[in-house]
Structure 1
Amino acid sequence: MSTLHAVLDRVTNRVIERSRQSRALYLTRIEHARAQHAPVRTVLSCANLAHGFAAAPANDKLVIKELRKPNIGIVTSYNDMLSAHQPYERFPELIRAAARRVGATAQVAGGVPAMCDGVTQGNPGMEMSLFSREVIAMSTAVALSHNMFDAALMLGVCDKIVPGLLIGALQFGHLPVIFVPAGPMTSGLSNDDKARIRQQFAKGEVGRDALLEAESQAYHGAGTCTFYGTANSNQLLMEVMGLHLPGAAFIHPNTPLRDALTARAAERVLELSAMGNEYTPIGHVIDERAIVNGIVGLLATGGSTNHTLHLVAAARAAGIVIDWTDFDDLSAVVPLLARIYPNGKADVNHFHAAGGLAFLIRELIQGGLLHEDVRTVAGNGLSHYAEEPRLLEDKLSWVPATAQTLDDKVLRPRATPFAADGGLRLVEGNLGRGVIKISAVASQHRKVHAPAIVFDDQEAVQRAFDAGELNRDFVAVVRFQGARANGMPELHRLTPLLGVAQDAGFHVALVTDGRMSGASGKVPAVIHLSPEVLAGGPLGRVRTGDMIELDADAGILRAHVPDEVWATRDIHAMQDEASTWGFGRELFAVFRQAAGPAEEGASVFGMYPAAAHVATSPEITPSSIKEQA
């Protein structure tokens, strides 16, 4: 085993120490749940149990009643509008058949909503997108609350779905859980061509018919979008954190190998149940080392900035506290080993063909940049994930990762990385703390010193662009985009507009308390600025014309305003009433009011339930919880 890199070791120990009390409380509670509920159906009355299997086939009823074999709960994000989730229509029957082959059972426990930022982008529904993560977490808890299940399979792919499923599943930390991906669609129109046509449309050089045709060629079939945004970053996370079967992330939907992996996930989760031989609950798989591994995987591939929110929120659901300083410290030493759009020209299919996650994970383990000695759903040790699945004579097998990259324009060994660091920076100054993804930003664009133009929404930026007011050096300050203000929608519409100005030779940047998502690209964008304006963040003091300094390499973000002037300015804290109603936004008022800071995950749940009381209530300890139980 390779020696751990000193920074990885230091950050991990810092996270362990920071999380000591809350993590201990979490583990105590899941141990209490396991002791009370294995096998789970023994605690149900006859009427409870009869309700739980009333609609099951006769043979399944017998198995469930006998209490001798485990029952799998399937939580699914299936819908047939969204390409990434449409393949899940077939999965429950594959899983039920696999369970029956070994004498067990499986039932769809419940469904969770799956909304697509690609559909809602720039529309009112986008303002519910981040909070759909919380709805998904609660829906997962509702699905598993029937206490009928000894293990669970999570069927989800995209942006908020996987983090929500993970947060929900961690509340049932005594259950073994495997995440089952659906896979990416086959490659269509190249990402470069798609981005080019979007910019041409923004400049009025092509019409809507040309734009729609290009988008249709890019998004053309079943499966996940192929660029490396949040959806595919989710799949990397589940793999490097040990919640997938090895190599499951990027196998195409509706193929024999994908079906074999789905069936094997059902068989494997049964083996991991308390009624199997390798009891491995999700609350033990997700520990401090697994979370740090997730951060490293994201950095090594230039993954989605959304996970500076989602991974933080998911970690807290397991009693683990991470912050943006942890991301920043690791980014300084984790090399960038992949170039996937928007950090390069390739899509995830090219990445997978070049060697994919198995190659990447092996390189990081050998470089001491991943914790190998972790628990995973494949068994102890992350080395299993340096193997690729194959169907050999119709039998699912795993083979070692390719010895060398098959395309060094897409994937490289650690000895010759694309960059020496992970390309994610913490920036801070008198405007607060934010993050910037620089792996796709050319070095000459990483320093911007220009006057601010203050906007209250992205529609105002569009109007300024249409009026020709952005043909200059400027920093677009887009405020009131945080979780409390309007649900923190992604601001994708700004990318083509700001890209046009940058391509024209102007010095351009974006600074916002909102999100840009996994598609953060070539324009420098400081996002998630915390605290947000509606929570008193200093971004509300900025006025049009103020000189803004951004140095992404040095981690500096500063408004150059005399201290005496800065101190006298009110923090504008308006609330856009239009963001509080219509398209169901009324129902999310309580989420906006309860949302925490971005650096804490922008979550309404906060820390692991009751863990925050540990510091202020010494009498509440893991041992006292156990005694009370």
Structure 2
Amino acid sequence: MKMHDTVTQVTERIRERSHDRRARYEELMERQHSRGVHRGTLACGNLAHGFAACGPADKDRLKLTNSANVGIVSSYNDMLSAHQPFKDFPELIKETARSMGSTAQFAGGVPAMCDGVTQGQPGMELSLFSRDVIAMSTAIALSHNMFDAALYLGICDKIVPGLFIGAARFGHLPALFVPGGPMPSGLPNKEKSRIRQLFAEGKVGRDELLQAESDSYHSPGTCTFYGTANSNQLMIEMMGLHLPGASFVNPNTPLRDALTRYATEQAIRNTEQSGNYRPFYKQITEKAIVNALVGLLASGGSTNHTMHLVAMAAAAGITLTWDDFSDLSSVVPSLTRIYPNGQADINHFQAAGGMAYLIRTLLDAGLVHEDINTVFGQGLADYTKEPFLEDGELIWRDGPSESYDKDVLRPASEPFSATGGLAVVSGNLGRGVIKVSAVEPENRLVEAPVRIFHDQNELKGAFDAGELNRDVITVIRFQGPRANGMPELHKLTPYLGVLQDRGYKVALVTDGRMSGASGKVPAAIHITPEALDGGPLAKLRDGDIVRLDPDNGELTALVDNDEWARRENASADLDHFHHEMGRELFVGLRNMVGGAEEGASAFGTFGDI
């Protein structure tokens, strides 16, 4: 199938835009590779420290440079459901490596926090920064120069982007990402949302709300709605860094364990010692990044990736902009209906045909690049296959040629919508992004007076007092990465949803984040420049009329130009955002972080590599 002209054009302009920095990145990776097997260059004392805790057989293998040693970097902890399944993976990986005459070592752990736990709490202000901390933790884990390949065990919001950034800086190593899988389906998402809104209105109590939440998030595995965690898995598979079909297999199943074993075997097969050297840096090119972006748009994925994917690409020497998101969104059709864009969850998506069918229909439509280097097979066409156990052996069969449920997953020739679920908005308030895939067309255009808040907790008080019972655009400013770490404002969703259900035209505008599962209320988020950096959002005053029109890419304060030019920016007391719950430790990151459109990264743009 001929590639779509817009996909080709966007890919080519990314390549041209990135030429110099990408060349520097590749030169750096080639230098790292040229040093050879790193543990072979270590002094005897260094190497002895590196395998002191190993058994005799592993020590003997590690003394040799012709056997592969796989580094394991994991986000395991036993408090959070998505990461708990990783507990037993290291031993499984080590046993598999030994069976191939190789070794595996647990190189290091990375922090893994859950936005679901910290939502609306002070800890959420550390969430975005945790991505860069994870990237640095990954670098520390791999800095011992003991490894010929790496397996990255991660799944949730900031963890996979952080692991990816770390993997990119060790891009001379072959890399596979190893997911844990989603939990089985629980309470239907529509019912959960209904009870949340009833609680917001005071019609049910905390006991009923907690029971509903517990019935939704009920077992080990990733949350089943389509937020950032599951968007991560989809994008990693679209780039060919997973085994085909690995993304959405439930944890603690024979198939999940078989995929983990095979990932270990494949990592060893991809090492230089095996003669099939497949380093990360030769896999992740502009074509792989575009594939991830197209998959994100086609599936109505998380808005958080308007920052994460930019930062991930930058780590591999590739410059991605919001214009690339916008231009691809205009031609990539919407192919899924997964909550909050529909009532199905990720398990229903998997049953309807999952990644194998999604990749097949995108390939057939010429919307993704087949000719990328993948960890498995010879290109993306091999990712139209599905894994199965046959007599205890892991095999791949051709995936479905048709969707099993067109209410959940559709072909590109018969989409839910002709365009993707993401729009870039701009005007005299700056630039931002908005996820419209879950917003009904009649609710997208909002022109109304603004009500301004400097803390998300203030909105609840105004809601309870009945002050928002009108057409209103709520503005939550001073929520950007430099101001307070750019927390998600998902706790506001039930209140805004109630107002919309009462028949009011309502929207949110903020320089903070919304949930990766942004829902039915239009939310223009990640407004940049942020208010703290002199962004025009700080010029707004209560009662100003703002027009938000995502279908036409507009976010404008309808204020006389001369008056707008005369206005001074408002200020805010941010001290209460910077202390307690460890927030004082992140002052350096707040001072270093870049803007949302540049990836909100403390690493800059890697322009000096």
Pairwise mapping of residues 520-531 of structure 1 onto structure 2 (< 5 A)? 520-531=518-529
| TM-score normalised to structure 2 length | 0.99
The correspondence for 1:227, drawn from 220, 225, 234, is 225
Which residue number corresponds to residue 39 of structure 1? 37
The alignment partner of 1:462 has SS state of helix
**Other-structure match for 2:67:** 69
1:455 aligns with 2:415: no
| 1:125-524 aligned within 5 A | 125-524=123-522
Residue 38 of structure 2 corresponds to residue 18 of structure 1: no
The CA deviation string for residues 471-519 of structure 1, in whole angstroms up to 9 with x for no partner, is: 1000001100100000000001111010000000000000000000311
CA displacement at 1:606 relative to structure 2? 1.2
Distance across 2 between alignment mates of 1:108 and 1:491: 36
- CA shift for structure 1 position 609: 5.0
- Retained in 2: the 8 A contact 1:485–1:575? no
Aligned match of 1:6: 5
Does the 8 Å contact 1:515/1:528 carry over to 2? yes
Q: Is the 8 A contact 2:548 2:554 kept in 1?
A: yes
Q: Is the 8 A contact 2:360 2:401 kept in 1?
A: no
> Does the 8 Å CA contact 1:39/1:275 hold for their aligned counterparts?
no
Tell me if structure 2 keeps the 8 A contact 1:479–1:540. yes
| Equivalent residue letter for 2:33 | R
Query: How far 1:154 sits from its partner (Å)?
Result: 0.2
Q: Is the 8 A contact 1:536 1:573 kept in 2?
A: no
Give the number of aligned pairs: 609
CA contact (8 A) 2:454 2:572 kept: no
What does residue 572 of structure 1 align with? 570
Aligned to 2:117: 119
> 1:23 is aligned with what amino acid?
R
TM-fit CA distance, 1:379: 3.1
User: Post-superposition shift, 1:542?
Assistant: 0.4
Instruction: State how far apart, in whole Å, the 2-side matches of 1:132 and 1:203 are.
Output: 33
Q: Secondary structure at the match of 2:547?
A: strand
1:542-576 deviation digits (Å, cap 9, x = unpaired): 00100000111000010000011111111124341
CA distance in 1 between counterparts of 2:512 and 2:43 reads 49
Looking at structure 1, the residues matched to 232 and 587 of structure 2 have their Cα atoms a distance apart, in angstroms, of: 28
* Alignment of structure 1 residues 609-628 onto 2, 5 Å: 610-611=608-609
Q: Deviations over 1:416-464 (max 9, x none)?
A: 1110010200100000000000000000001001001011011011110
Task: Return the TM-score normalized by structure 1.
Answer: 0.96
Question: Which residue identity does 1:58 align to in structure 2?
Answer: P
Report the Cα distance in structure 1 between the residues aligned to 2:526 and 2:260, rounded to whole angstroms. 36
How far the C-alpha of 1:284 sits from its partner, in A, is: 1.2
Structure 1 moving runs of 4+ over 4 Å:
none
- Taking a change above 3 Å as real, the CA distance of residues 143 and 609 of structure 1, as seen in their structure-2 partners, is farther
Q: Pairwise mapping of residues 538-553 of structure 1 onto structure 2 (< 5 A)? A: 538-553=536-551
| Amino acid across the alignment from 1:31 | E
C-alpha displacement of 1:393:
1.4
CA RMSD of aligned residues (A): 0.7
Gaps spanning 5+ residues in structure 2: where?
none
Question: Does structure 2 retain, via aligned residues, the 8 Å contact 1:95–1:266?
Answer: yes
- Whichever residue aligns with residue 6 of structure 1, its letter is D
Tell me the distance in 2 between the aligned counterparts of 1:579 and 1:514: 13
C-alpha distance in structure 1 between counterparts of 2:133 and 2:475, whole Å: 30
Q: For residues 404 and 485 of structure 1, what CA distance do their matches in structure 2 show?
A: 48
Aligned pair partner of 1:605 in 595, 603, 606:
603
In the alignment, the residues of structure 2 paired with residue 443 and residue 99 of structure 1 have an alpha-carbon distance, to the nearest angstrom, of: 53
Alignment partners' CA distance in 2, 1:552 and 1:177: 38
Which piece of structure 1 moves more, 601-610 or 183-192?
A: 601-610
